[in-house]
A and B are shown apart, each in its own frame.
Chain A
Amino acid sequence: MNVIYSFWYFVLSFIFLSVIGLFVSWIDRKITARIQWRVGPPWYQSFADIIKLSGKEVLVPEGSNRFTFIFSPILSVIASTICGTMLLLVLRKNFGFGGDLILFIYLLTIPSLSIILGGSSSGNVLASVGISRELKLLLSYELPFICAIIIPAIKANFTTSLIEIFQYQNLNGSNIFSLSGIIGFIIILIASTGKLGVVPFDLAEAETEIAGGALIEYSGILLGFYKLAKSILLFVVPLFIVILYLGGTPIIGFGSLLIFILKYLVVLILITLIRNTNPRLRIDQSLRFFWGWLTLIGILGILISLSGV
């Protein structure tokens, strides 16, 4: 009974996450367009894109590993859906277990890994450049990202449970209202642009350099799956940041839900602004940036949070 229930819960949350993810990616596109003095797409554009892609022919390149090539986009969608489902469970039902924060760190790397898998199975030169960049990028942004996740965990009395972090903030105010919280928030915001693969860290796809990079051979619904996974991540990652750093009001009733959505939109808009006011960085520059200053500041933030500020 339990298995069937979880299955249906997963399917329903997949539908919910797809819809809301695509809608959120429309918000991102619309804001980008307004910044660039364009009109921007209508609200259904992201849905139309996915529907159009699902009607296109799927080409599997000759000499590629067929199974991996087809399986990795699906893996990408599954991983990001599980992420989203977990977060929704935490928010809606206060359901969680002791180590779910660590599980999240794992789950959030899987979409990147699936891009690497898919790219490497396609056997394209440009894709191989793309996956080598994605690998280096994954290694580099993961370090400050984890630093920034440790800070709220320390503040909430050394817990690795997301729900406890959220409830701690409900009692003691948002994490962002402390010095270490501000440091952590800035770091996780920047690292999440790497995680989402948007400018300035979109080198794995870098359209004008390597023409789509790892995704170059993908077409049809398989490309659609990657786009869908990316949209869902665009919903999941800011939500994750909100839970870690901008908690503070338990979601009871309509008013608090509205405040929560507002917080989420602020994080989303900040990410959109970062991506519209920066050029793409080189891979060596991003590596130096993430492992140098950002990690140092992250460790500093951890030390400050240990001292309780």
Chain B
Amino acid sequence: MEELKKVIVPIGPYHPLLEEPEYFQLFCDGEEVVDVEWIAGYNHRGIEKLAESKHWDQVTFLVERICGICSTSHPFAYCNAVEDLAQIEIPERAKYIRSIIGELERLHSHLLWIGLAGHFLGYNTVFMWAWKYREGILDMFEMITGNRNHYAMFRIGGVRRNIEDEDIPILKKTLSEVEGKIKMLTEAVIDDPVLSARLKGVGILNKEDIKNYGAVGPIARASGVDIDVRKDDPYAAYNLVDWKMITTNNGDVFDKAVVRLLECFESIKIINQSLDRIKGTKGEIWKEVREIPKGEGIGRHEAPRGEVFHYIRSDGRASSPIRHKIRAPSYVNIPTFKASCIGETISDVCIILAGVDPCYCCTERIAVYDKEKKKKVYSFEDLVKKSIEKTEKIKKEIGKESKLWKKLF
């Protein structure tokens, strides 16, 4: 085994497969991948620490900058967390608008992935077409929020901008155009025999693997695990509209693509219903929030890549959170490569790694390097040990007075 491990095919730190700096070492025996090692830590920005020095309202914008693609997921989860903490019920109109933004983002993110997956397979026509279709969604964003990527729509207690009645017909028209195009793309992808040959039976994750790694989102749903925060723990307007969760059973890359494509149609359903509900009605879009009381809150949102989780703690005096903990879906999805990549060929490993739709900037955790010796100071095990130690320390300090901690332990 040691002999075989000597040939390392590097994917990263800078590689056309990855949009972000990240390093996968493939230990290869010919074309077959025997083992994979993941080295992270090129992109850490210390957002959690930064959040502790910002005002509650500023944190909404800060967390929006965690990820460029699912930029609204983090504010969504953060606002949910703060509203959970302060027990705020947001106005109904704001709920619908939040859902619309969340689902539009899912649409553009899934289309982006389909395009990238095509590019990674050398199928640049799919790449260009999917991104062309995505333009319609970005135009809708521009119409609603004024921005194409960082929308700044969320605030604690509601949303910042209203969707006016006169905008709704043109929004619905754009959406139905995009729907037709996605339908065509879906049929093209599902019927393509070469794509099937390339993707079916590749990188299979079964239900056991999903549970062991705690994978979430489309990855879990492609393996037949029906988890979706929008259904399991409804927030915003997701329990007010009619939609269904998409699951498939094979767990290969092809199913992951199918789940994403079919989810697009559910998103369109949600958006259409929400637009119908807010049309012709008037109402507040935010609720004034003056103070954040002492306590803790959690917020969850089903981002395009899976469940994003925010934990917030306030001491009731400071104007900023005293602890902000973020867990992005890629953090649990990426490590599934241990179960899906080993034994596959290099070509397949590339698309499997891309198949989880990894978002590295969401995932980045600390890495400590010694500059002189050019060596890592802490190994993964050391960091886990340190993290457990710290958790124990915090538990001793505050564990008794917290309701949440009692629930968890």
Task: Decide: A282 near B348, CB < 8 A? Known: A37-B132, A125-B9.
Answer: yes
Chain B nearest CB from A204 CB (Å) reads: 12
Contact assessment for A35 and B31 in the assembled complex, using a CB-CB cutoff below 8 Å: no
Chain B nearest CB from A289 CB (Å) reads: 9
Chain B nearest CB from A280 CB (Å) reads: 3
Please tell me if A206 contacts chain B, counting CB pairs below 8 Å: yes
Give chain A residues whose Cβ lies under 8 Å from the Cβ of B121. 208, 279-280
Chain A nearest CB from B339 CB (Å) reads: 20
Please tell me if B198 contacts chain A, counting CB pairs below 8 Å: yes
Q: Which of B7, B129, B348 contacts A37 (CB 8 A)?
A: B129
Please tell me if B243 contacts chain A, counting CB pairs below 8 Å: no
Chain A nearest CB from B392 CB (Å) reads: 43
From B125, which residue of chain A is reached at the shortest CB distance? A276
Give chain A residues whose Cβ lies under 8 Å from the Cβ of B195. 279
Give chain B residues whose Cβ lies under 8 Å from the Cβ of A199. 122-124
Please tell me if A38 contacts chain B, counting CB pairs below 8 Å: yes
Contact assessment for B194 and A210 in the assembled complex, using a CB-CB cutoff below 8 Å: no
Q: Which of A32, A38, A208 contacts B122 (CB 8 A)?
A: A208
Give chain A residues whose Cβ lies under 8 Å from the Cβ of B28. 129
- Complex Cα gap A208–B120 (Å): 5
Contact code string A274-293 (vs B, CB < 8 Å = 1, else 0): 00111111111100000000
Chain B nearest CB from A28 CB (Å) reads: 13
Contact code string B107-126 (vs A, CB < 8 Å = 1, else 0): 00000000000111111111
Give chain A residues whose Cβ lies under 8 Å from the Cβ of B283. none
Q: Which of B10-18, B79-87, B366-374 contacts A (4 or more CB under 8 A)?
A: B10-18
From A276, which residue of chain B is reached at the shortest CB distance? B125
Please tell me if A249 contacts chain B, counting CB pairs below 8 Å: no
Chain B nearest CB from A174 CB (Å) reads: 30
Q: Which of B304-350 contact A (CB under 8 A)?
A: 345-348, 350
Contact code string A20-48 (vs B, CB < 8 Å = 1, else 0): 00000000000010011110000000000
Chain A nearest CB from B19 CB (Å) reads: 11
From B132, which residue of chain A is reached at the shortest CB distance? A37
Please tell me if A202 contacts chain B, counting CB pairs below 8 Å: yes
Contact assessment for B347 and A36 in the assembled complex, using a CB-CB cutoff below 8 Å: no
Give chain B residues whose Cβ lies under 8 Å from the Cβ of A36. 124-125, 127-129
Please tell me if A54 contacts chain B, counting CB pairs below 8 Å: no
Give chain A residues whose Cβ lies under 8 Å from the Cβ of B184. none
Most buried by A among B28, B123, B347: B347
Give chain B residues whose Cβ lies under 8 Å from the Cβ of A210. 9, 346
Contact assessment for B125 and A209 in the assembled complex, using a CB-CB cutoff below 8 Å: no
Contact assessment for A282 and B129 in the assembled complex, using a CB-CB cutoff below 8 Å: no
Give chain B residues whose Cβ lies under 8 Å from the Cβ of A282. 198, 345, 347-348
- Complex Cα gap A129–B119 (Å): 20
Please tell me if B30 contacts chain A, counting CB pairs below 8 Å: yes
Contact assessment for B194 and A132 in the assembled complex, using a CB-CB cutoff below 8 Å: no
Chain B nearest CB from A248 CB (Å) reads: 33
Task: Decide: A209 near B17, CB < 8 A? Known: A36-B124, A36-B128, A284-B345.
Answer: yes
Chain A's interface size range is: 20 to 34
Task: Decide: A200 near B129, CB < 8 A? Known: A207-B16, A282-B347, A284-B345.
Answer: no
Chain B nearest CB from A67 CB (Å) reads: 26
Please tell me if B197 contacts chain A, counting CB pairs below 8 Å: yes
Please tell me if B8 contacts chain A, counting CB pairs below 8 Å: yes
Q: Which of A125, A200, A283 contacts B7 (CB 8 A)?
A: A125
Give chain A residues whose Cβ lies under 8 Å from the Cβ of B126. 279
From A133, which residue of chain B is reached at the shortest CB distance? B31
- Complex Cα gap A279–B127 (Å): 11
Give chain A residues whose Cβ lies under 8 Å from the Cβ of B15. 211
Q: Which of A32, A126, A132, A281 contacts B31 (CB 8 A)?
A: A132
Chain B nearest CB from A222 CB (Å) reads: 21
Give chain A residues whose Cβ lies under 8 Å from the Cβ of B10. 125-126
Give chain B residues whose Cβ lies under 8 Å from the Cβ of A35. 125
Contact assessment for B347 and A283 in the assembled complex, using a CB-CB cutoff below 8 Å: yes
Please tell me if A203 contacts chain B, counting CB pairs below 8 Å: yes
Contact assessment for A209 and B194 in the assembled complex, using a CB-CB cutoff below 8 Å: no
From B31, which residue of chain A is reached at the shortest CB distance? A283
Task: Decide: A203 near B16, CB < 8 A? Known: A129-B9, A276-B125.
Answer: no
Chain A nearest CB from B177 CB (Å) reads: 15
Give chain B residues whose Cβ lies under 8 Å from the Cβ of A126. 9-10
Task: Decide: A203 near B194, CB < 8 A? Known: A38-B128, A125-B7, A125-B10.
Answer: no
Chain A nearest CB from B357 CB (Å) reads: 15
Contact code string B1-39 (vs A, CB < 8 Å = 1, else 0): 000000111100001110000000000101100000000
Contact assessment for A279 and B348 in the assembled complex, using a CB-CB cutoff below 8 Å: no
Give chain A residues whose Cβ lies under 8 Å from the Cβ of B124. 32, 36, 199, 276
- Complex Cα gap A89–B347 (Å): 42
Contact assessment for A208 and B8 in the assembled complex, using a CB-CB cutoff below 8 Å: no
Task: Decide: A278 near B119, CB < 8 A? Known: A37-B128, A206-B347, A211-B16.
Answer: no
Give chain B residues whose Cβ lies under 8 Å from the Cβ of A283. 31, 345, 347
From A205, which residue of chain B is reached at the shortest CB distance? B122
Chain B nearest CB from A71 CB (Å) reads: 27
Give chain A residues whose Cβ lies under 8 Å from the Cβ of B347. 203, 206, 209, 280, 282-283
Most buried by B among A132, A277, A278: A278
Q: Report, nearest first, the 10 A-B pairs whose CB atoms are least far apart.
A: A280-B122, A36-B128, A279-B121, A279-B123, A208-B120, A199-B122, A209-B350, A282-B347, A208-B16, A276-B125
A residues touching B (Cβ–Cβ < 8 Å)? 32, 35-38, 125-126, 129, 132-133, 199-200, 202-203, 206-211, 276-285
What are 22 A-B pairs with beta-carbon distances under 8 A? A32-B124, A36-B125, A36-B129, A37-B129, A38-B128, A126-B10, A129-B28, A207-B122, A208-B120, A208-B122, A208-B350, A209-B346, A209-B350, A278-B123, A278-B194, A279-B126, A279-B192, A279-B198, A281-B194, A281-B197, A282-B347, A283-B345
Further pairs besides A280-B198, A282-B198: 13, Cβ < 8 Å: A36-B125, A125-B7, A199-B122, A203-B347, A206-B122, A206-B347, A209-B17, A210-B9, A279-B126, A279-B195, A282-B345, A282-B347, A285-B197
